[in-house]
Amino acid sequence: MAANHIYVLGLETSCDETAAAIVEVPVKDGAPTGPGRILANQILSQIDTHAPYGGVVPELAARAHLSHLDTLVAAALQDADMTLDDMHAIAATAGPGLIGGVLIGLTTGKALALAAQKPFIGVNHLEGHALSARLSDPVAFPYLLLLVSGGHCQLLSVTALGDYTLLGQTRDDAVGEAYDKAAKLMSLGYPGGPEIEQRARQGNRAAYALPRPLLADNRQDENGLPLNCDFSFSGLKTALRQAAEKAAPLNDNKVADLAASFEAAVAECLSTQTRRAMQIFRHDLSSAAQLNLVVAGGVAANQYLRQALRDVAEAENFALFVPPVALCTDNAAMIARAGAERFIAGHIDAAPMAIPARARWPLSD
């Protein structure tokens, strides 16, 4: 690739954030050479729209994307002082997500690319999260990824762009979903993650003996490596509800203790299973490679969980990389970065206008 830098416009509409961003990525010898720069990062949150319902209403989310995406694209171009002609490619989330929202962003991206005669790249939303640390830090492949968000909880070995091996995943609720449901049963606000984190700071993390699902499964294969790196949060949520009912009527102190006990259980589940995945990752890795752990997704914004994972990384001699909080939650900068990496590598669909919107799209595919 002749250009020293490439510029990509990214669109994100998979859930309840409408976003448009422009990133600059430095290139040398056909490969990205560093994090680059975010030239524009427009995000319109829909929290106030969905808060009265205690969760995202797909139809309302889609309407908001339709109403605001064009304005955000124009604002991003203005922030960067650029036009569509300056872009090397246009990328948009093609899934997974709420299908109505995904369709709006995907169709808009295709239309912009067609009008400007630019390559279009449909991006897996999870790949955006998987590569988000490379937008803020010079993280080289391979690395172990813990992806924790409202809809996903997975451990993956990231060997290269597009090369992802699933090591463990939730068997029921995603961790962010569990936070939202836990907050709702304690009559806290939406979204639940920040509410529980704030209350937990004032609570006793040992006040309630909540379970740590799947951690007792210590089975190993013939190489002595863990067979279980999965998560389960449904039973933990049920145990929290039972503890809350037993403690009723709830006051601020009881809610703080419940929140703290719940967060401590989640942190132990995440850190223990991540430690097990580290054993597998280390075994499969070339001895010359750096041991890196990347934690991405909206739940990675939780400071208590970050510290628990930081402790595990230090004990296992892994370097820990967590994107800034603004890049943990859904954003278009990570979609633009993923699109840029695919563009640089030549991973462009032969029929980009035929790329479908997908409600489900496993990263391992």
Residues 56, 18 share a domain: yes
pTM of the model: 0.93
Give dist(CA 363, CA 365) in Å, integer: 5
The amino acid occupying position 363 is: L
Residues 291, 160 share a domain: yes
Whether residue 364 is contained in a domain is answered as: no
The amino acid occupying position 100 is: G
Q: What is the pLDDT of residue 1?
A: 45
The amino acid occupying position 224 is: G
Burial of 59 (0-12, 13-18, 19+ CB in 10 A): exposed
Q: What is the pLDDT of residue 288?
A: 64
Whether residue 110 is contained in a domain is answered as: yes
Whether residue 113 is contained in a domain is answered as: yes
Residues 318, 179 share a domain: yes
What are the tokens at 119? 């390559």
Q: What is the pLDDT of residue 285?
A: 84
Beta bridge partners of 160: 163
Residues 302, 207 share a domain: yes
* pLDDT tens for each residue of the chain, 365 residues long: 456 999 999 999 999 899 999 999 999 988 899 899 999 999 998 888 888 877 889 889 899 999 999 999 999 999 999 999 999 999 999 999 999 999 999 999 999 999 999 999 999 999 999 999 999 999 999 999 999 988 889 999 999 999 999 999 999 999 999 999 999 999 998 888 999 999 999 999 999 999 999 999 999 999 999 999 999 999 999 999 999 999 999 999 999 999 999 999 999 999 999 999 999 999 988 766 789 999 999 999 999 999 999 999 999 999 999 999 889 989 999 999 999 999 999 998 889 999 999 999 988 77
Whether residue 289 is contained in a domain is answered as: yes
Cβ proximity of 296 and 328 under 8 Å: yes
Beta bridge partners of 21: 10, 41
Give dist(CA 361, CA 201) in Å, integer: 36
Which ranges in the chain belong to alpha helices (H)? Answer: 47-50, 58-80, 99-116, 125-130, 175-185, 192-200, 234-247, 252-284, 303-315, 325-328, 332-345
Residues 160, 82 share a domain: no
- The domain in which residue 240 lies consists of 139-322
Q: Which residues contact 198 (CB under 8 A, 6 or more apart)?
A: none
Cβ proximity of 189 and 195 under 8 Å: yes
Cβ proximity of 293 and 179 under 8 Å: no
Nearest of 193, 318, 167, 322 to residue 266 by alpha carbon? 193
Burial of 216 (0-12, 13-18, 19+ CB in 10 A): exposed
Q: What are phi and psi of 58, to 5 degrees?
A: -55, -40
Q: Which residues of 274-285 are buried (b: 16+ CB within 10 A; e: fewer)?
A: bbbbbbbbbeeb
- How many folded domains does the chain comprise? 2
Give dist(CA 229, CA 324) in Å, integer: 26
Q: Which residues contact 214 (CB under 8 A, 6 or more apart)?
A: 171, 228, 230, 231, 232, 269, 273
Collapsing DSSP to helix, strand or coil, 5 comes out as: strand
CATH number, domain at 50?
3.30.420.40
